[in-house]
Structure 1
Amino acid sequence: MPVSEREAGQSPAGDPVRPGTGWAALRPFALRLHFYAGVFVAPFLLVAAVTGLLYVFTPQLEDAVYDHELHVPATRGELPLAEQVDQARMTVPDGRVTAVRPAPTPTDTTQVIFDRAGLEPSFHHTVFVNPHNGELRGSLETYGSGQALPLRTWFDQLHRNLHLGDPGRIYTELAASWLWVIVLGGLVLWLGRRRRERRLRRTLLPEGGGPGRKRLLSWHGAVGLWSALGLLFLSATGLTWSLFAGVNIGDLRAELDWTTPSVATDVAQLDGPDVGIDAVRATTAAAGLSDPVEIRPSAGPGDAYVVQQIQRHWPEKQDSMAVDPATGRITDTLRFEDYSLGAKLARWGIDAHMGFLFGWVNQLALLLLAGGLICLIVWGYRMWWRRRPPGGRLGRPPPRGAWRRVPARVLAPLLVAAAVIGWFLPVFGVSLLLFVLVDLALGARAARAGAAGAR
């Protein structure tokens, strides 16, 4: 929607006007910020949305592609877990067992997870064992605490850093850092516009009719309104994994005691044989720790076994227990219900962002969000294109000088807030500064061109 010179903070003669009051003063400023953020950050958001969309259904693809490694025919009987681990050890003589995931159902394999030389950080070597007869079903390189197999890992890294390592992570941080700004700015603009019209249906639902910028704006605003909460969630959770802001978020969580707790693993150093992994599994199962679980072996004298639930479809399946390897007694228990609210929200947020929470329902929600974001970006660029002057190659931006209409009592807190947020979210802060410098440079060039034309 074009903004008049007076709305932009200039008189028709180009002289500054007095700052306005209320929404009339803020709207041109919000419009210009929303426009520039959308134009320059949208390509990064588009890449993040497309790669995230590709990742959403990788668990099902993984299940199909690696069916041989993950699944076995259902058969009665099961070998002792220690025997299954020994079978796996024979194929990885240079590896150290760091965890074991017993087969949760008769049609699943047991996963024996190794650390070995040459693996990148967070990568593991996993051997898949038939729990019924000890047959080795294969071995694969897996990634992260979620045991992502190669196909899911490839899409995960594509979404995270475009396979460019840490430098590539800046693109996702830029997208996540600006997404919440674009969404909130769009909400303010859309609700402020519709408030004047006082028609609820036109606020909530897009208008029909023929093609045109007004119809595009209607779809852009209505879909943005319905998507806003989900997009804000994706922005917040995406920042927790970011390269620079993620460190600050981690420090803040630690200060607020929102970090994920863990069971105490220190036990008395008693002489005697290790009770073994089968006894540990039986003890924790009897205490209510249901499958699927991951068992981390004792690292040596004075260190306990740790058994933790790994079911991520249901938010309460995160209990863990520590077991003394000398006595087989449970020495510590941590229930998910005892997590702090911050730790619970972090767990749920991560799982929901990855599409694990509540299974296909979560995946469908992410599919709609990613699809909605892609449509918002396309509609936004089309509206910009339709604003181009006759014979012009690009659409017009909202007029300059909008900040002059913002009262000082409002502008000063905005600048302070921008500085604080820019410090906490460094990629946002640097990119915002670059936007301002580019805008000033363009404004200076336009002023010189205008002065030259007037001579």
Structure 2
Amino acid sequence: MSAPPIDDVRTEETPGPVRVSVVPLLRRLHFYAGILVAPFLLVAALTGVLYALAPQLDGLLYDDVLEVSSASGAPRPLAEQVAAAQAALPDGTLTAVLTADEPDATTQVVFSSPGSADDGDRTVYVNPYTAQVQGRLTTSFGSTPATTWLSALHRNLHLGEPGRLYSELAASWLWVLAIVGAALWLVRQRTARHRVRSVIAPERGAKGVRETRSRHGSIGTWVLIGALFLSATGLTWSTYAGDNFSAALTALDAKAPALDTGLGGAEGSTGSDGHSGHGDVSQDAEPVDPATFDRVLVAARDAGLDGPLQLGVAAEPGTAWTAAQVDNTWPIRLDKVAVDPETATVTARADFADRPLLAKLSSLGIQAHMGRLFGVANQVALLLLGAGLITLIVLGYRMWWQRRPTRADRRAPLGSAPKRGTWQHLPLWFVIPAPLVLIAIGWAIPLLGLSLLAFLVLDGLIGLARKRAGGRTSPQSG
């Protein structure tokens, strides 16, 4: 939730008695965090909504490539399909094949092309019933150019690694704004006659800033859980907080086990969440026999792997091929096996059911964050959640404008911030553990800690400057 209302809280210009409470601190924190972080959240919400629509956009842009016009008869052997793709892209290094996930879907034959002007794989789309090539696209981990572009827009605004700071900053503060906003809204409604209704529904007959605040609070209540979910899952693959999360999983021995692809004493492995065979095949490897894909597919099916599969070429000589389920829609199918390409026997497997609980939750959470886990229902939920966050931000800024002083002697373009010196209101039970909690949060979520520290320093300097200039504000920051 964004900037809080300040019509009935003390601003920097209004002195008053000191009461022991954490509410003044929460008001000031929510106000400033909402104003300063909301632009990042707005961009993240807008780009997230666009990314949620990626499957439909793919259908509009690439329908002639992704789908066959007529699904009739039995599919041709993979060897024929792969041979057709190799003929269409003779200079590529074959790395993987993705079997059709629907009867009317094409088979995807993936090649890596070193030295290309742009990054990404080259995927050739083959009609599984005729073994005819329908087209080819530059892809990234199976995603079309449009989906890849939208993903990068949401992740880093196409600014590379520096751009990822925006999305991590938004995810870092989202949970703080949501929790603090919910606490402030519940405090405000604690004396309401119909308490539950006042929390979840706008106030009837309210006007002006009161109406805006009521809508802001009630919408915030509805999106609270979703906002916390987006924040948590978004941080798991962010740059700094994501590294800490990964380190915590390693320390707790809670990471997904790697699939052993070693053969005859050779060592090799691939992560259970990885896209085996996608661009990681040695460029010096021997040419791939297309018939091997049929043998690996049969071995995988005999091992119980149903649904769409990704068949990965051995990364190095003397290592196994991989066959991985790639169905991310609930109930998911994400098991994986290693197959000896010579004997077509399964040499190792890594099942989703055997992953530690945290690894399972992390994988499921990421798929839901991307709108894949529950199909269209997941997309609709993300669209509603994104719309809710955007509305909250707009209402928050509207409240800030509505609370501006309008008297002739005190005109201002925007409303004043809650009063400084909120630390004076804090009870001991909050003050004593607070430093340790802040240090722990700052370590786990570095951008949150650094941005909070920067705010405290800047706020303190501004307060000190105003005091020296004869203002009535306290030099202590909130």
The alpha-carbon deviation at position 157 of structure 1 amounts to 1.0
TM-score (norm 2): 0.87
Equivalent in the alignment of 1:299: 315
Q: Residue 361 and residue 119 in structure 1: after superposition, are their counterparts in 2 closer, same or farther (change >3 A)?
A: farther
Counterpart code for 1:149: T
Q: Deviations along 1:363-399, whole A, 9 cap, x unmatched? A: 1110111010011111111111111112211111111
Equivalent in the alignment of 2:79: 82
Equivalent in the alignment of 2:270: none
* Correspondence for 1:67 among 60, 63, 67: 63
Q: Which one is further off, 261-270 or 151-160?
A: 261-270
Equivalent in the alignment of 1:404: 424
Equivalent in the alignment of 2:173: 178
For 1:58-137, list aligned pairs within 5 A: 58-72=54-68, 73-118=70-115, 123-137=120-134
CA contact (8 A) 1:78 1:133 kept: yes
The alpha-carbon deviation at position 306 of structure 1 amounts to 0.9
CA contact (8 A) 2:308 2:327 kept: yes
Q: Which one is further off, 46-55 or 241-250?
A: 241-250
CA contact (8 A) 2:328 2:367 kept: yes
For 1:250-265, list aligned pairs within 5 A: 250-265=246-261
The alpha-carbon deviation at position 101 of structure 1 amounts to 0.7
* Correspondence for 1:163 among 149, 158, 166: 158
CA contact (8 A) 2:67 2:106 kept: yes
The alpha-carbon deviation at position 450 of structure 1 amounts to 2.2
Q: Residue 33 and residue 447 in structure 1: after superposition, are their counterparts in 2 closer, same or farther (change >3 A)?
A: same
Which SS does the other structure have where 1:113 is aligned? strand
Q: Residue 381 and residue 130 in structure 1: after superposition, are their counterparts in 2 closer, same or farther (change >3 A)?
A: same
Q: Residue 172 and residue 119 in structure 1: after superposition, are their counterparts in 2 closer, same or farther (change >3 A)?
A: farther
CA contact (8 A) 1:124 1:143 kept: yes
Counterpart code for 1:182: L
Counterpart code for 1:267: L
Equivalent in the alignment of 1:439: 459
* Correspondence for 1:282 among 287, 298, 304: 298
* Correspondence for 1:424 among 419, 426, 444: 444
CA contact (8 A) 1:126 1:142 kept: yes
Q: Deviations along 1:243-292, whole A, 9 cap, x unmatched? A: 2211111111221222222322112279xx98721021112213321121
Counterpart code for 2:112: D
**Does structure 1 residue 375 correspond to structure 2 residue 371?**
no
Which SS does the other structure have where 1:111 is aligned? strand
Q: Distance in 2 between matches of 1:121 and 1:188?
A: 48
Which SS does the other structure have where 1:97 is aligned? strand
Q: Distance in 1 between matches of 2:298 and 2:356?
A: 29
Counterpart code for 2:58: E
Q: Residue 443 and residue 30 in structure 1: after superposition, are their counterparts in 2 closer, same or farther (change >3 A)?
A: same
Equivalent in the alignment of 1:240: 236
CA RMSD of aligned residues (A): 2.4
Which SS does the other structure have where 1:327 is aligned? coil
Q: Residue 97 and residue 384 in structure 1: after superposition, are their counterparts in 2 closer, same or farther (change >3 A)?
A: same
Q: Distance in 1 between matches of 2:330 and 2:368?
A: 11
Q: Distance in 1 between matches of 2:38 and 2:463?
A: 23
The alpha-carbon deviation at position 451 of structure 1 amounts to 5.6
Q: Distance in 2 between matches of 1:301 and 1:51?
A: 42
Q: Which one is further off, 192-201 or 304-313?
A: 192-201
Q: Distance in 2 between matches of 1:121 and 1:330?
A: 36
Q: Deviations along 1:201-243, whole A, 9 cap, x unmatched? A: 1122111225311111111111111111110000011112212
Equivalent in the alignment of 1:35: 31
Q: Residue 398 and residue 452 in structure 1: after superposition, are their counterparts in 2 closer, same or farther (change >3 A)?
A: closer
Return the structure number with greater helix share. Answer: 1
CA contact (8 A) 2:65 2:125 kept: yes
* Correspondence for 1:211 among 202, 207, 210: 207
Q: Distance in 1 between matches of 2:14 and 2:203?
A: 33
Q: Which runs of 5+ in 1 are unaligned?
A: none
Identity among equivalent positions (%) equals: 46
Q: Which one is further off, 211-220 or 86-95?
A: 86-95
Q: Distance in 1 between matches of 2:74 and 2:294?
A: 15
Q: Residue 115 and residue 4 in structure 1: after superposition, are their counterparts in 2 closer, same or farther (change >3 A)?
A: closer
Q: Which runs of 5+ in 2 are unaligned?
A: 1-5, 267-287, 474-478
Q: Distance in 2 between matches of 1:190 and 1:414?
A: 22
Q: Residue 243 and residue 441 in structure 1: after superposition, are their counterparts in 2 closer, same or farther (change >3 A)?
A: same
Q: Residue 120 and residue 350 in structure 1: after superposition, are their counterparts in 2 closer, same or farther (change >3 A)?
A: farther
Q: Residue 298 and residue 403 in structure 1: after superposition, are their counterparts in 2 closer, same or farther (change >3 A)?
A: same
Aligned length: 440
Q: Residue 227 and residue 451 in structure 1: after superposition, are their counterparts in 2 closer, same or farther (change >3 A)?
A: closer
Which SS does the other structure have where 1:450 is aligned? coil
The alpha-carbon deviation at position 304 of structure 1 amounts to 1.2
Equivalent in the alignment of 2:140: 143
Equivalent in the alignment of 1:361: 377
Counterpart code for 2:158: H
